[in-house]
Amino acid sequence: MNKFSISQYLLILFVLVLGFTYALPNLYPTQPSIQVAYTDSGKSADQILLNELQDILDSTEINPQEIFLRDNKIVIKFDSLDDQLDSKTVLQNKLLDKVIIALNLEPSTPDWLKDIGGQPLKLGLDLSGGVHFLLEVDIDTAQQGRLELLLDTYRKTFKEDAIQFNASSIDDLRLIFEFKNRDSYNKALAKYRLDSQGLSGLQYIITERPATNTLFLEYSDVALREIRDYAVGQNLITLRNRVNELGVSEPIVQRQGSNRIVVQLPGVQDPTAAKKIIGKTANLEFRLEANSRTSPLRKEEFPFKENEFMTASLEKAVVVSGDRVTNASTGFDESGFAQVNITLDMQGGRAMQKATSGNIGRKLAVLFVEQKSKSELVTNENGETIIEQSTYIEKNIISLATIQAVLGTSFRITGVGSPQEASELALLLRAGALAAPMKFVEERTVGPSLGKENIELGMQSIMMGLALVIIFMTFYYRVFGLAANVSLLINLVLITGIMSLLGATLTLPGIAGIVLTVGMAVDANVLIFARIREELKEKDPQTAIRDGFSRAFITIFDANVTTLIAALILYVIGTGPVKGFAITLSIGIVTSMFTAIMCTRAMVNLVYGNKNVKELKI
């Protein structure tokens, strides 16, 4: 009567084997290691770099456990954290900007587990450590960029409207136009006043100098607030996209105050590596090549990326920049060289169409704009040698091609270097361009020591709760209590295995979710056992077991589904720690229902099934 079919037992066995297999990698400890890669994304780590690293380490007393090439990087394993940190310092001082060195904890998972996708649980910032950055958006540069676009717009407008001016410039974040006569001055003033009335309020502050026919234009407080909010908002979106593209687990990217952004990256222990992830600025500018009619004040000279000794003069006016790119992908041209396929938004497409329609036969340049860092060994006040870093903007021409037809929203650019460089450029363009430069005003490395304490305290809370539950269930429900305790242990293993399989991240609130799941799993068994007790008053033991499980199922199902809905809502609208709690709670609800209804029932059936039972010990 209370016997499972072979298929039901096979289903339980399959789930248990799957859960135990993918929970197994968490039993293998991690090893301190460092990952080394070339700063230049176009170069992959090779045997030459590996030999150089080996020679540097051989000259010290540090003996790495293992050093090998993997996925365009070199991995060096160590026996202790001290050797890991000492090696990082030595290599950084020797190689400076040549390489990026990131501290890491290398899993010691066996190869057969790796082959089937077995990986240990990912830990959040509060458990594994990581980096915390506070970045400040340079609003003055954003304002300067807007003024340059505005200057170019008014130059074209005044030319079309026959408004004559002698000089135009930007000084101290003000737009300055000196007009040829009073009539042009008055027309321009009327144009300024008309444009200054924006939907959100006064856009410009106009300063008049009629004696010299000069007008000064600067942004109002309302316009400055809009510029600031746009710059911070766009940078926020860009950083989130960039971190998501690079696969950092459970990142926190959020605004703080009027012009600052907080970034937290769990599991990343080295600020240099993290800066490369979030701080790298790669953008494109499309500019026409300057010709003989271009004023010397309106052109700039730039070197080519592949040959710095070759230069070309380009117009200062930017036709389209990378912030108008909606999609970017890599491919290969007819000759087999890497290319990037670009798709612009409607505004960018119109600007490109307007610029190229009247300039067929001229050359259009693609300017690669990149923010780079420079490291130098300096001696501080205490006489210690430290690495000092500074940033600078580098602009190089990657393509200078003749316009043969009118371009629209979709086209391709060549000359982007290796496939790796093309892939990185496409990734950064997809993630979006930064609307304004940012500087690091605060950076902290959150060590794993606090995380270790949190893990120990969290595990203590789980073990204490588990022990109390096991003692209570054993003495109060006897054989049924033992079955429930085994199911409870299986439940914890399944939660661990499923989270490892899904690549979910365990946070401190996630541990709280597991503790709550322990209580909920026991609650389901208590409901079943209480129902069996009620049924025993009127029915024989076998019927009481069957009806106890079947009739308690509805109550258990309703209670768990409502909790699951609440957990899913938390996951959708929550961020960071709240999501960590929701993930473990959701997984725990599903596994607790399986263990309480299927596993406990299977064990009870093995003990009492198809037997002439006179009395139940419950």
- The tens digit of pLDDT for each residue in 503-538 reads 777 877 888 888 888 778 888 888 888 888 888 888
Q: What is the mean pLDDT of residues 235-255?
A: 72
Query: Same domain, yes or no, for 192 and 289?
Result: no
Query: What value does the mean pLDDT of the chain take?
Result: 81
Q: State the residue for tokens 């499923």.
A: 498
Number of domains comprising the chain = 4
Pick from 232, 252, 280: which residue ends a domain? 280
Looking at residue 250, its pLDDT comes to 60
In this predicted structure, which of 323-327, 358-362, 562-566 has the lowest mean pLDDT? 323-327
The count of C-alpha atoms lying within 13 angstroms of the C-alpha of 440, restricted to the half-sphere facing its C-beta, is 20
Residues 235 and 291 in one domain: no
CA-wise closest residue to 372 among 80, 98, 172: 98
Confidence at 480, pLDDT banded by 50, 70, 90: confident
Reference 319, options 355, 265, 372; nearest CA is 355
H helices present in 124-166, as ranges: 125-128, 139-160
- Examine residue 613 and state whether it is found in any structural domain, yes or no: no
Q: Residue 177's pLDDT band (boundaries 50, 70, 90)?
A: very high
Q: Within its chain, how far is the Cα of 513 from the centroid?
A: 24
- Domain of 68: which CATH number? 3.30.70.260
pLDDT at 184: 92
pLDDT of 365 over the 90 cut: no
Same domain, 291 and 371: yes
Q: Are residues 291 and 411 in the same domain?
A: yes
Name the percent of the chain lying above pLDDT 70: 87
Q: Fill in the DSSP letter of residue 262.
A: E
User: Tokens representing 423?
Assistant: 């892939």
Point out the least confidently predicted range of 75-79, 98-102, 372-376.
372-376
- State the pLDDT at residue 111: 84
DSSP 362: B
Tell me the two tokens of residue 30: 């991690």
Residues 359 and 267 occupy one common structural domain: no
Instruction: Report the CATH number that the domain containing residue 585 is assigned in CATH.
Output: 1.20.1640.10
Please state the φ and ψ torsions of residue 396, each to the nearest 5 degrees. -135, 150
Asked if residue 100 and residue 202 are part of one domain, the reply reads no
pLDDT tens digits along 392-440? 778 888 878 788 888 888 877 776 667 766 776 676 666 566 777 777 7
The length of the chain, given as a count of residues: 618
The range of the structural domain enclosing residue 46 comes to: 29-108
**Which of the two residues, 586 and 237, has the higher pLDDT score?**
586
Q: CB–CB of 338/320 below 8 Å? A: no
pLDDT for 14: 93
Describe the crossing of helices 541-573 and 508-536 by its angle, rounded to 10 degrees.
Answer: 160
Q: Which residues contact 613 (CB under 8 A, 6 or more apart)?
A: 540, 541, 542
User: pTM score > 0.85 for this model?
Assistant: no
Give the pLDDT band (50/70/90) at residue 74: confident
Indicate whether 39 belongs to any domain. yes
Report the alpha-carbon distance of residue 142 to residue 587 in Å, rounded: 45
Looking at the structure, tell me whether residues 262 and 184 fall in a common domain: yes
Is 455 or 294 the better-scoring residue by pLDDT? Answer: 294
Give the model confidence (pLDDT) of 572-618 as tens digits: 887 667 877 888 899 999 998 899 888 988 888 888 877 777 777 77
Q: Is the pLDDT of residue 198 over 70?
A: no
Q: 39-43, 229-233, 437-441, 475-479: which range is least confident on average?
A: 39-43
Distance CA 472, CA 482 (A): 10
pLDDT exceeds 60 at position 58: yes
Residue 40 lies in a domain: yes
Enumerate the β-bridge partners of residue 217: 175, 206
The residue written with tokens 């365009």 in the block is 72
